[in-house]
Chain A
Amino acid sequence: MRKGVLELCILAIIAEQDAYASDIITKLKEARLIVVEGTLYPLLTRLKNEGLTIYRWEESKSGPPRKYHQITETGIQSLTELRNDWHELVASVDKIIGISK
């Protein structure tokens, strides 16, 4: 059921502000969308491979350089599409759930 939803959320988080793994994890965990952190990394890599995001290295005060993810033009387009899909899906599902009530 969550197929694609996590990608959408990650993309949305990155679109708002360039983020590194820890930030994204914090937000996803707050929203209770993931339980184990290992889930995130394959998804980030997939987004990057699909050209939706890129990353850059940034020095950190407390430790090694961090990988900051940044959304691309294609990413923004894709995010808009996914958002629309999501809203449509929610609307459709709501309709059905509403009827059954």
Chain B
Amino acid sequence: MYHPDRVKITTMKKTLTINLGGIVFHIDEDAYLLLNQYLDLLTRHFRAQEGSQDILNDIESRIAEILGEKCSETKQVITLEDVQEVIGIMGQPVEIDQEEAPKQKRDMADGEKGAKRFFRNPDEKIIAGVCSGIAAYFHLDPVWIRLIFVIFILAGGSGILLYLVLWFIIPEAQSTSDKLEMRGEKINITNIEKSIREELSAIGGKIGSMANESAASLRRAGSGSGSFFEIIGKSLADVFRFIGKGLLILIGILLVIVGFSMVLALIAYTFGWTGGIYTDNEITVMAFPALARLLLGCNIPVVYLQVMVLMVLGIPFFMLFYNGLRMMFRFERIPHLGLTMFNIWVIGIFFLAWSGLKIYNLYKVDEEKQIEIALEEPATDTLHVILMADDPGMKYLRYEKFDILGDWKTVITEDKELYLVPGIRIEESDDSLFSISQVTMARGKSRLEALQHLAGIRFQSATSGSTLRISPFARLPKEECWRGQAVNLVIRVPKGKFIRFDKQIRDLNPYWYWLANSAEETTFQMTENGFEINQGKDHINAKGDSTTTDTVRP
């Protein structure tokens, strides 16, 4: 069947010249590959039969004859369709077997499929055909192999890694002969014997063709090397090609290392295996699950965010790794992998944007409440600030495992309660009286929700005489979501008066640099210049600068 109109739309193709049964043909490359594969298959099929060479020669001549009829003045090239048609006419080995029905046929047909090899099965795949390929190799139902993988995945997830590795290592069965090889054979004595014989003859053939090739190349070298410079030029080109290849492999190794370690680090961080990350000034970045839980609170499972982050950040690094592997080992591109990954990445971006919007909405409305804490005029001129000794937060005062977002310290207890450090701000009083305001803040989707979140904050403060007692932390019970809740104390000190902080307050937040490090108590005085530390002979400005003030402690 020759379709002139189909030929017109074919784009430029590489053609080869072959000699088939004594006739010379021009043939498209793809057609050649198919024909070659078919003849290979037949060779393997008839190998064990008496007079196999005769059979093959006859078949080759017949193919040449049929193809010869297809050529004309206007059509000189054998196309893929031509070869497909010829194969249809001549028949696949299985079809030939069925019709021919020779003596001793049955026991031969079983061993007809050549050496056994692992292939991924593209015809029965769920992900990449790894399981069904293995099943084909062992003559099993793919279900069993898949079941084993699922068990491995459930028991610690090693199945996922194993699957990925096998995906990379095992090639996909693309040609007919690949698929036949993939099926393998049942193991019996005749087949073992046969496969050994086949292997030996294959080795023999390879050595033979190698010998031919080297002889040919010697001849070529002898006749073609006209000048000395030609040889130099050629070998220089070879050297450059070699260097180029080496460079490619080196870049590949680099990409593999970077890609792999980034993927691993990302997974480790995202799933919180690393805990927090410590930067040089000892400020910890929160471990991802804790951060995600803080941001999302209780509404959205953290795992969604984890998966999304892996999709968006992990896939680029994975592709880096994959392309590095390809540069190193120069294997065929895995079909559709790039496109699939890109699609997953886009979906990830989309969902991340969507959840970003959702998170933003959770924090949209801002509510604030201010209470004035009543205070008798302190008997002395000093206000003493201490922590409430019976507060449940006291046990977390020197808690090692806290999380920091910026300079803001948070404790997440094992009971999933949140303990937030209150902010303390000292201002100058307008009059001659001490005054204290407690400002609580929270956010929410709506005003009502923000107010509800506000009401959920557990924070106590009380005064007696000249002493202000406060809870060490603003506590959010387990059922409360974090929606930007915070507590700030504003203490206004009249000019010339003093405020004294207990040492424990320093323990609340190691980043309150304005509190003296070593002393039992830190006393400040509101002076003309503002707020100054007053520690016997040491006079340090609240901001940490040394000053020479003559304030004397009363």
- List chain A positions with a Cβ less than 8 A from chain B: 1-3, 6, 21-22, 34-39, 41-46, 48-49, 62-65, 67
Contacts and interface: CB of A to CB of B under 8 A. Distances in A.
Top 5 closest pairs, chain A to chain B, by CB: A36-B91, A38-B91, A64-B22, A38-B90, A39-B99
Contacts of A38: 42, 59, 90-93, 95-96
A39 B22 contact: no
B12 interface: no
The secondary structure that dominates the A interface is helix
Contacts of B42: 38
Interface residues of B, number: 30
A6 B55 contact: no
A39 B65 contact: no
Interface string B281-304: 000000000000000000000000
29 contacts: A1-B101, A3-B102, A3-B103, A6-B99, A6-B101, A21-B58, A22-B62, A34-B99, A36-B88, A36-B89, A36-B95, A36-B96, A37-B91, A38-B59, A38-B92, A39-B96, A41-B55, A41-B59, A42-B102, A43-B100, A44-B55, A45-B54, A45-B58, A48-B54, A49-B51, A63-B68, A64-B21, A64-B64, A67-B58
A41 B91 contact: no
B95 to A, nearest CB: 5
B548 interface: no
Given A1-B101, A21-B62, A67-B58, 12 more contacts: A34-B99, A38-B59, A38-B90, A38-B95, A39-B100, A42-B49, A42-B96, A45-B55, A46-B51, A48-B51, A63-B68, A64-B21
Most A C-beta atoms less than 10 A away, residue of B65, B100, B101, B103: B100
Interface in B83-130: 88-93, 95-96, 99-103
Contact of B101 (A2, A36, A37, A45): A2
A37 B88 CA distance: 9
Contacts of B73: none
Contacts of B64: 63-64
Nearest to B93: A38
Most B C-beta atoms less than 10 A away, residue of A6, A37, A42, A49: A42
B363 interface: no
Contact of A45 (B51, B89, B99): B51
Contacts of A36: 88-92, 95-96, 99
Contacts of A3: 101-103
B50 interface: yes
B46 interface: yes
The secondary structure that dominates the B interface is helix
B504 interface: no
B98 to A, nearest CB: 9
A33 B95 CA distance: 13
B58 A39 contact: no
Most A C-beta atoms less than 10 A away, residue of B22, B49, B50, B99: B99
A50 to B, nearest CB: 10
B61 interface: yes
Nearest to B86: A37
Interface in B39-92: 42, 46, 49-51, 54-55, 58-59, 61-62, 64-65, 68, 88-92
Contacts of B96: 36, 38-39, 42
A48 B51 CA distance: 9
A67 B62 CA distance: 10
B35 to A, nearest CB: 14
B519 interface: no
A28 to B, nearest CB: 10
A64 B99 contact: no
